[in-house]
């Protein structure tokens, strides 16, 4: 027999997480209009960079088809990105995680299984999702990630506190083309083309067909570099920690 109080508590947690999601969605919209996005810290995620560079971040991999395709594209343009990997997918394809690292990109933690809404999980579940992925990435690559992105950007005081306790820097984004929805190459490219100095771009190489994302980035990356924008990885990583 189910516990009515437990069910009510789970519903409250879910509704609270959803409310945070929409508040953060509005906040990101304001960040995109600011001349300088918020840099963040241990108690608030970074929405932008301190300098005039831009950062490309890639979520939800690694994927056996789209991650190698994206790595090839980035290599052709001499661009380094920040890949937020999912622990279960790293366990399935540790070789791909090693390829990302060997290509000179930064690897961040994106939870074990990408549950949503992430902030609705219990504190114990949140910690387990993050800690598990740390171990999977360490086992695969012999480095310890220093960056964390909450699934769906669903932050809460508990998520941020746990992130800090585990020695990770929380990272959000400024420019979101919603490429995971597959809105069309032209729409993805149009949104990414608006990227300005100091902003963090969000794209995906996992979770579905990412051919539109690859095609859009093939158009946009040279366009942005021609404008004089320089790509960097998200700050926050410390030197590699071998196990």
- The catalytic residues are 59, 204
Q: Can you read off the two tokens belonging to residue 49?
A: 């960079």
Q: Which two tokens stand for residue 135?
A: 């171990």
Report how far residue 136's alpha carbon sits from residue 141's, in angstroms, rounded to the nearest whole number: 9
- Distance (Å, whole) CA 84 – CA 12: 29
Centre a 10 Å sphere on the Cβ of residue 172 and count the other Cβ atoms it contains.
24
User: What is the phi-psi region of residue 235: left when phi exceeds 0, alpha when psi lies from -120 to 50, beta otherwise?
Assistant: beta
Tokens of 131: 């800690």
Q: For residues 2 and 112, what is the distance between their CA atoms, to the nearest angstrom?
A: 27
Task: Please state at what angle helix 211-226 crosses helix 66-77, rounded to 10 degrees.
Answer: 10
Burial of 29 (0-12, 13-18, 19+ CB in 10 A): exposed
């Amino acid at each position: 027999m189910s516990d009515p109080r437990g069910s009510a508590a789970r519903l409250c947690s879910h509704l609270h997480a959803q409310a945070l999601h929409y508040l953060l969605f509005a906040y990101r919209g304001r960040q995109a209009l600011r001349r300088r996005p918020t840099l963040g810290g241990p108690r608030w995620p970074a929405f932008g960079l301190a300098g005039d560079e831009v950062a490309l971040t890639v979520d939800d991999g690694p994927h056996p088809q789209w991650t190698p395709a994206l790595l090839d594209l980035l290599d052709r343009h001499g661009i380094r990105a920040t890949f937020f990997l999912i622990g279960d997918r790293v366990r399935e394809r540790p070789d791909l995680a090693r390829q990302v690292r060997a290509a000179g990109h930064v690897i961040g933690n994106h939870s074990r299984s990408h549950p949503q809404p992430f902030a609705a999980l219990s504190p114990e579940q949140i910690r387990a999702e993050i800690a598990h992925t740390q171990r999977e990435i360490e086992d695969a690559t012999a480095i310890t990630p220093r960056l964390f992105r909450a699934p769906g950007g669903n932050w809460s005081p508990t998520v941020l506190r746990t992130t800090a306790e585990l020695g990770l820097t929380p990272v959000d984004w400024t420019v979101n083309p919603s490429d995971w929805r597959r809105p069309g190459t032209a729409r993805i490219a149009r949104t990414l083309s608006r990227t300005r100095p100091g902003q963090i771009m969000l794209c995906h190489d996992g979770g579905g067909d990412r051919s539109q994302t690859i095609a859009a980035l093939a158009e946009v990356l040279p366009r942005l570099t021609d404008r004089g924008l320089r790509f960097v990885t998200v700050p926050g990583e410390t030197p590699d920690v071998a196990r």
